[in-house]
Amino acid sequence: MSNAAGSRIVVTGATGNVGTSVVRLLSEDPQVGSVLGLARRLPEWQPPKTDWSTVDIASEQADLVREFLGADAVIHLAWAFQPTHDPATTWRTNVLGGIRVFDAVAAAGVPTLVHASSVGAYSPGPKDDAVDESWPTHGWPDAAYCREKAYLERTLDTFEREHPGIRVVRMRPAFLFKRESASEQRRIFGGKFLPGPLARPELLPFLPDIPGLRVQALHTDDAAKAYLLAVGSDARGAFNLAADPPVDAALLGKLLGSRPVRLPRTAARSAIAAAWGLHLLPASPHLFDAVVRLPLMDCNRAHAELGWQPEYTATEVIEEFLQGLQQGAGAQTEPMRGRKVG
């Protein structure tokens, strides 16, 4: 981070999966002067050079300009995945809250904004080839997550035209996992009562092989490294972030010692829709529809312009995450609380 010596960095959503990795790496970087983590609930965790502030970006009363004054960069990570049955609530946090963050960055005179977009912002694309950052970002409109990510992409298009002096970076990572995120992600997508030990190979003799279910994964720490590289560079624009190889039923079958069995997409969706409709599963069938249509991403721009390379393969990422599920792994923040179920 040669251009960020003594810099003050503000991180929204600092206690979640990505936030904890970003804050940790910032706090360990000798060229970062101070870190301010914003979260709805103060954590027990106290990394070096880091202060905390209680802020809910969904609240119109939140004084984000005051929090951002004097910052050299704002890394915007705050995001709500639930309640999936009430998209108006997630819209207030993710879209309206995101717009408040962008407006406050401009009002406070912050020179750099690094925004957490996602592979979920991309329009449907190929599963046998990789797309670069020029691929359309209109999302899958039926899924709230994709709709919200795509809307913020359009908001940033306008923001960049109106504020050409602010350097805007859009990170578009693949699905992010680490051992400590296992309990949080189990609660978000599988429900708080889903037993983590179900990830044990001996309990999964068969694995559904669903057409289109081929995605990319990335270790959260590797994504965090890209955020730091972006803050300390002059880079602008969008960057795809993912590790190889793509994750599909064949790869998961090898990891779990399970035999992939072909399952029609309609059957899988019907099962998810039924569980979601009964409030047994937080992950919606609309998100499933999006995932099976997401393109694979080409990450050459991040390699060339940021000098970024992932340390973990996607296989290592999934192995670590599965171990975390079995162990009920977590961290010392409220969103990341560890809990073993089953």
Q: For 88-129, give the DSSP string.
A: HHHHIIIIIHHHHHHHHHHHHT-SEEEEE--GGGSPS--SSS
Return the sign of the alpha-carbon dihedral for residues 18, 21, 23, 29. Answer: negative
> What does the pLDDT read at residue 2?
40
The domains found in the chain, sorted by start residue, are 7-181+212-248+292-327 (3.40.50.720)
C-beta separation of 95 from 139 below 8 A: no
| Coil/strand/helix, residue 31 | coil
C-beta separation of 342 from 203 below 8 A: no
Q: What are phi and psi of 50, to 5 degrees?
A: -115, 130
The neighbour count for residue 36, using CB atoms within 10 Å, is 22
Report how far apart, in Å, the C-alpha atoms of 19 and of each of 25, 26, 48 are.
10, 10, 15
Instruction: Provide block-wise average pLDDT over 10 residues at a time, the chain (342 residues).
Output: 70 98 97 97 96 97 97 98 94 98 98 98 97 98 97 98 98 97 88 59 74 96 98 97 97 90 95 92 94 98 98 97 90 84 56
> What does the pLDDT read at residue 325?
87
* Nearby residues of 87 by Cβ (< 8 Å), 6 or more positions away: 144, 147
Between CA 320 and CA 292 the distance in angstroms is 23
C-beta separation of 227 from 263 below 8 A: no
Give which of 180, 227, 189, 208 is closest to 43, Cα–Cα.
180
β-pairing verdict for 243-247 and 215-219: antiparallel
pTM above 0.75, yes or no: yes
